[in-house]
Amino acid sequence: MKNRRTMFLLMLVLMLAATACTPNMGGGTGSNQSEGNNESDTNTGETGKSDSKKLTIWVFADPHKRFLEAVNEEFKKTHPDVTVDVNLMDANAMTDKYMILSRSGGEGGPDLFDMEQGQFPNFIRGDVPFEPLDQYLEVDGLKEAMSKGRQALYTVNDKQYGIEHAATASALYYRKDIFDEAGINVAELKTWDAFTEAAKKLTGKDNYIFPADSETKTGGDRTYFELLIKQEGGDVVTTDGGIGLDSPEALAALKRMNAWKKEGIMDNRYFEGPSYWDRFKNGTYVAAFGPDWWVNLLVDNVPELSGKWAALPMPLGGPNSVPTTVWGGTGMMISKFSKNKDLAWEYLKTAQLTPAMSVKRFEIINLFPALLTSVNEPGLHEPSKYTEYFAGQDLGELYGTLVEDAPNQNQAWWRPLLTQAWDKYQFDYTEGKLTPEQFLQKVREELERLIEKEKKAAG
């Protein structure tokens, strides 16, 4: 796999080198251009066959492309002379291509880039190849428009580089029919301890409350650990860029998961695909916690359970915990190399910072906005297949109460290295050879070693 990616990068370098020698390729992606096209490069603002300008956007997810096509219709009302080209690309290929472009002058890059938050750390070591947005936000009076926790995702050295699509505010989802039949009023269970104690009566042989991980398989126990540490007020990256694995919040999160597995609250086996969702169908799992987009997976994969679910804020843990956490995210950014930065900002503002488009995104892809000025928009509270699945519950109202509490996810260039450090010791921890304290210490030491190794390799 590594060799294939190396070969891909080498081919991409050769392709870009050839492109750099070709006249008139400017700021377009080349994906829809034909040989011999003599039109002037619209990204430069120069006139050729027409006076129109062009914005190019790179995206990695089809739902985001569908949303931006709706934004294009709105943007056209105020910018009729602007052509917007939304290019859907493979996520890794898109990131690799932009990385290479950014190291070779940026020629052929997009104006706007849809960045999956997990990829952002790859771009923040040294010069960040995106335009800082602070001045734009300041001038338009939008510095406080977004959830602060979401802004942290794309902030480096006090500069903000991206605007988040979604709050990803997380909630507790549970089979209301099963809990009600057992006489458990989940709404009254305000803490994890209270919830766990009450839920024990629903556990037994091959019956659990939670699965071991989301079917997205983004990192086994590490995924839930990161959710729970953020709920407690911590993070694997501290606010000053340090390692947050030796904090009380980290230990509390890991111990909670450890206790859940020992007590049968959480399964200790991992499944994916149909076998994972079958366990929701047959009642092996009767609850979960995660962001709004996780609900999409539930609705799509277990439609027969429609009407049987309810959602609530997450129960609280320690003294600094909040009733939600965050998972994932995608930010829209302006390329440092765009020749139409002001125009790109106008588009970004339309897409990410207007209540109307926040509602449109929610309608198209069920992502509740991080834009605080939009949470009371009527369109976020309309009936949908998702509210129907939750027996008519207004999910927009629930997420709206959680957005301001959405905790920070802090960024550091080394954040992706946590996966390697975690995986090195997870088997021993799972086998009971390490206590939670010992496990976190070893992961921290390995992470420090990997960071130093990267620093030396970079010179």
Mean residue pLDDT of the chain comes to 87
210 and 224 belong to one structural domain: yes
Q: Is residue 399 assigned to a domain?
A: no
Q: Are 384 and 295 in contact (CB under 8 A)?
A: no
What's the 3-state SS for 230-282? HHCCCCCECCCCCECCCCHHHHHHHHHHHHHHHCCCECCCCCCCHHHHHHHHC
Number of domains comprising the chain: 2
Average pLDDT over every residue of 23-44: 32
Say whether both 190 and 295 belong to one domain.
yes
Cα-Cα-Cα-Cα torsion 370, 374, 379, 380, nearest 10 degrees, comes to 40
> According to the model, what pLDDT value does residue 458 have?
83
From CA 125, how far away is CA 134, in angstroms rounded?
20
Residue 306 is given by DSSP the state: T
Residues 320 and 333 in one domain: no
Q: Quote the pLDDT of residue 366.
A: 83
Domain match, 375 and 240 both: no
250, 244 contact by CB (below 8 A): yes
Which pLDDT tens digit goes with each residue over 400-440?
999 989 999 999 999 999 999 999 999 999 899 999 999 99
Residue 12: Cβ within 10 Å count: 16
Q: What range defines the domain where residue 292 resides?
A: 171-324+412-458
What pTM value is reported for the model? 0.84
Residue 402 lies in a domain: no
Residue where the block lists tokens 């406080």: 144
Give yes or no: residues 266 and 332 share one domain: no
Q: What is the mean pLDDT of the segment spanning 149-169? A: 92
Same domain, yes or no: 192 and 260: yes
One domain for residues 264 and 342: no
Looking up tokens 């859940």, which residue turns up? 260
Scan for tokens 């390697």, then name that residue.
420
Radius of gyration of the chain (CA): 23
Domain match, 152 and 19 both: yes
Looking at residue 41, what is its pLDDT?
38
Mean pLDDT check: name the lowest of 48-62, 254-268, 320-334: 48-62
Asked, for residue 193, whether it belongs to a domain, the answer is: yes
Alpha carbon distance 448, 78 (integer Å): 51
pLDDT digits 0-9 by tens, 232-256: 999 999 998 999 999 999 999 999 9
User: Does residue 194 sit in the same domain as residue 285?
Assistant: yes
Q: In this structure, how many other beta carbons lie within 10 angstroms of the beta carbon of residue 123?
A: 21
How far is residue 210's CA from residue 224's CA, in Å, rounded to a whole number? 11
CATH code of 94's domain: 3.40.190.10
Distance, in Å, from the CA atom of 166 to the CA atom of 26, rounded to the nearest integer, reads: 32
Residue 214 pLDDT more than 90?
Answer: no
* Side chain identity at residue 50, one-letter code: S
Phi, then psi, of 451 in degrees rounded to 5 = -65, -45
Confidence of residue 219 (pLDDT cuts 50, 70, 90): low
CA distances from 429 to 246, 432, 437 (A): 16, 5, 10
Does one domain contain both 297 and 192?
yes
